[in-house]
Structure formats: structure tokens, C-alpha cells
Structure 1
Amino acid sequence: MDNKASSSSSYTDFTPYELKDGEEYMNDAQVEHFRSILLNWKRSLMEEVDRTVHHMQDEAANFPDPTDRATQESEFSLELRTRDRERKLIRKIDSSLRRIDDHDFGFCESCGADIGIRRLEARPTAEMCVDCKSLEEIRERQLGR
């Protein structure tokens, strides 16, 4: 099994956006910056899905030894769990792309404040500002979720 799973959900191959004095938040240049990040990230994830399918087809063997068979099944199971997490991430990316199209991207869905360029570069699928997300996490811990 190749070790590309750890890098498959990476979207870090981009140049950070250079803010200009007096620049309007979520202007066309910023929106295109994030659209590009999201589309490249999605493409990377989809390529990883394809690699997994090919890998599983190429490596699938009916080992006579139960230990070898169990090892292969364990590796495949781990790959499939990783792909399932990435499938969910692709849905979040698609949701972020829809928010871009709807002109809602970059604004907190809870309070409407700017999420911030640097936070979005760190987490392009962020839907809340740091303050609202922190409050949500505190509530979740208190409720034991």
C-alpha cells in the first residue's frame, strides 16, 4: 500500500493571498483565490479515489495463507475508511463552492461576521468565525456530544 493517503487531503499547494490596504473583503480576487484552492483540493481527493480503486483492483489477490489475506483485508479496510472521510470532505468542499456561487462564502453562518482570509486559508471549508466555532465546541463538550 502506498503512503499517499496522508497527503491526499492536503490543499497546501497554494500561494497565500496578499492582502492590500483598503481592499474589500471577499472581492473577486479573493473569491477566485478560494475557488481555486477548493477546486484543486477536490481534484486531488478525486485522484486519490481513483488511485485507491486501481490499487485495490491491482492488489486484490486470494492469498491461501489466512494471515496474508487478513493483512490485505486490513489494509483495504483502512484505505476505504480514509476514502469515506474524504468523500465527506468532498461534500463539504462542494458546499463551500455553492456558498461562493451564492456570495455567502467567507461569512459566519451563525453571526454573519467575516471569517477571515487566514482562517479560510487554514480551513477553506470553515462556515463559522473563530468565536462562534469556539462557542459551539464548548456547548458540544458541555452536552457530551
Structure 2
Amino acid sequence: IITMEEILHDSSHELGVDPGLIKDGVEAHLQELLADRIEILGEGHTLIRREYPTAIGPVDILCRDADGGTVAVELKRRGDIDGVEQLTRYLELLNRDPHLAPVKGIFAAQEIKPQARVLATDRGIGCVVLDYNAMRGIEDDKLR
């Protein structure tokens, strides 16, 4: 038993929004599902690799578009500005590789915050909203 005799100081601190940099089960599963159904990003897209390694961490998905151009995909459950910033860093690095450049970016998430969409659009990054349940084959709203 612990007995508190006196509280000298009590405070709380707002730590901000979780940047979502650690993949949880849903995000990892989203990545797997999107890799298996890469055409969700657009007709003619083909997968190069999941977790494409870079010096600053792995890109969630690297693929080619219908024209053969390289596309880096950053995947989040909740698409916030931090995810767009992360993808921007990957694009800067990948575009230095003459075998990949030019590399376009797609920010894909179940939900994309308006501020993130504005920033992505300003940087020439496409945005795709993913329907996790539809990707899993659950079409009936009653089962969602």
C-alpha cells in the first residue's frame, strides 16, 4: 500500500499529435493490401518493392506508374503534415539516384487532414484516400 502524505506539484503537458511513425497493425496491413492491389493508385501501376531501403529509413512502397516513372508511396492511417514531410525527405533523397529519378510521390492514408492535403498538393505530391475495409474485401457497411 502506498500512502501519499502531500502533493508538492501536479502538472500535465500536451505532447502534440502522435506523428504515427511507428507502424501499427492496421498500417502494416494497409501496406500489404496496397502492395497486392497497387492498381488502386492508378491503372498501370506496378510494384517495385515494399519497404524500399534508403539512408533515412524505408519508403513504404516504391512502384512504377503506367508511363514507367518511379513513384514513392508513404502510407499512414491518419495522414497528417508529418507524413507529407516524411515523404518529401524521401523524394529529395530518391531523386538524387539517376536510376530512379524523376520520382513522384503519393501520400496514401485512410484519412488525410486538410492541412496535409494542401501541403502535399503544393509540393506536387498526389493524395489517395484508402478504404481499408474495401481493400480487405468487406463491402457491406453492416460488417464494417
TM-score, normalised via structure 1 length: 0.28
Greater helix content: 1
TM-score, normalised via structure 2 length: 0.28
